[in-house]
Amino acid sequence: MYRILAKTTLTPVTTEYLIEAPEVAHQAKAGQFVVLRVHEQGERIPLTIADYDREAGTITVVAQEIGSSTLRLKSLEVGDSLASFTGPLGRPTEIEPDGTVILVGGGLGIAPIYPICRTLREAGNHVIAIIGARSGDLLFWEDKMRDVTDELIVVTDDGSYARKALVTEPLKELLDSGRKIDRVWGIGPAIMMKFVALTTKSYGVDTLVSLNSIMVDGTGMCGACRVAVGGRTFFACVDGPEFDGHQVDWDLLLSRQRFYVQEEQRALELYQQSLQQAEPEETSRS
């Protein structure tokens, strides 16, 4: 079960996985996520459902290698199986025929906005997407995104590819252009989502963000994923992950995301050591 059917390197730090999970694929909707364990002693990590194919019975996830679990995931080969894979979790994106919508995907955030764009478009919206990354080599899925949007704007922070800008710049231009924008989504690193929400606030445009707080079970049982929105506490895994970006307590989110950095660093070093000690054959394979 939960076999990896295909594995594609998207950028030097991101990998796409096609996973056999027919039941999850059957239920999955845009905006939801899964919680998986890479190996028996592994932690439970949440990853957004970046795509699903009900007929083929597959789920696509895209992971950025930032620590021991995501690196270990990358070390798996096609044909290997995950230790566990639970989903679909979280509330799906509420899809309404709003009119014109803008989806902003920063860095890894391109993956989660893809199914949302597709579903919004199928529901009859005019879909504009802004995707960006620090540099051109970190961008992915530009073609795929073009297929599910009416307008696609691509930017990089350093200008090494496409237009040199932060994602908030074209967003502000669109808002200033006088076009009626009904709703905005911002998905990516917390700091980027914070600035997307700040940008749209003075225009009074509804803005949804997908909060990536630290999770354990993903089913509302532990409260690790607590976030504050509009002065109230929510469990991001069951009440979200999407929330009103104008009401989120960003400082709290950012601070809670950092709580385990020391331990994460230690786990990473240990994992890297274990790789060095491993058979040379094995290291060359991965």
Partner 1 sequence: MTNRKPNQIPRQPMPAQPAEERRENFDEVAQGYTLEMAVSEAMRCLQCRNPRCIEGCPVQVRIPEFIQALRDNDMWEAVELLKDKNTLPAICGRVCPQESQCEAECIVGLRGEPVAIGRLERFVADWEQQEGVREPKPVTPREERVAVIGSGPASLTAAGDLAKMGYQVEILEALHEPGGVLVYGIPEFRLPKAVVAAEINYLEKLGVEIRLNVVIGKLYTLRELQEKYDAVFLGTGAGLPIMMNIPGENLNGVYSANELLTRVNLMKAFQFPEWDTPVRVGSKVAVVGAGNVAMDAARSSLRLGADEVHIVYRRSRKEVPARLEEVEHAEEEGIIFDFLTNPIEVLGNEEGVVSGLRCIRMELGEPDESGRQSPIPIKGSEFEMEMDTVIMALGTRPNPLVFSDAEGLERSRRGTVIADMDTGRTTLERVWAGGDIVTGSATVISAMGAGRVAASDIDAYLGGEEGQAWRIERATASA
Report in angstroms the alpha-carbon separations of 213 from 59, 283, 284: 22, 32, 34
Report in angstroms the alpha-carbon separations of 61 from 14, 56, 81, 186: 10, 15, 14, 19
Q: Which is nearer to partner 1, 52 or 141 (CB)?
A: 52
Would you say 257 and 214 are in contact if contact means Cβ atoms under 8 Å apart?
A: yes
Among 12, 41, 176, 202, binds partner 1 (CB under 8 A): 41
Site for ligand FES in 216-255 (CB under 6 A): 216-218, 220-225, 235, 237
- Shortest distance (Å) from residue 194 CB to partner 1: 16
Quick check: 84 binds partner 1 (CB under 8 A)?
yes
- Residue 149's binding partner among partner 1, ligand FAD, ligand FES, none (Cβ under 5 to 8 angstroms by kind) is none
Q: Dump strand ranges (E) for the chain.
A: 4-11, 14-20, 33-37, 45-48, 51-53, 58-64, 84-89, 100-106, 126-133, 151-156, 163-164, 183-187, 206-210, 226-229, 232-235, 242-244
List residues binding partner 1 (CB under 8 A): 23-24, 27, 37, 41-44, 68-69, 83-89, 216-217, 219-224, 226, 228, 233, 238, 251-252, 255-256, 258-260, 263-264, 266-267, 270
List residues binding ligand FES (CB under 6 A): 215-218, 220-225, 235, 237
List residues binding ligand FAD (CB under 6 A): 33, 43, 45-48, 61-64, 66-70, 108, 111-112, 212-215, 241, 257-258, 261, 264, 268
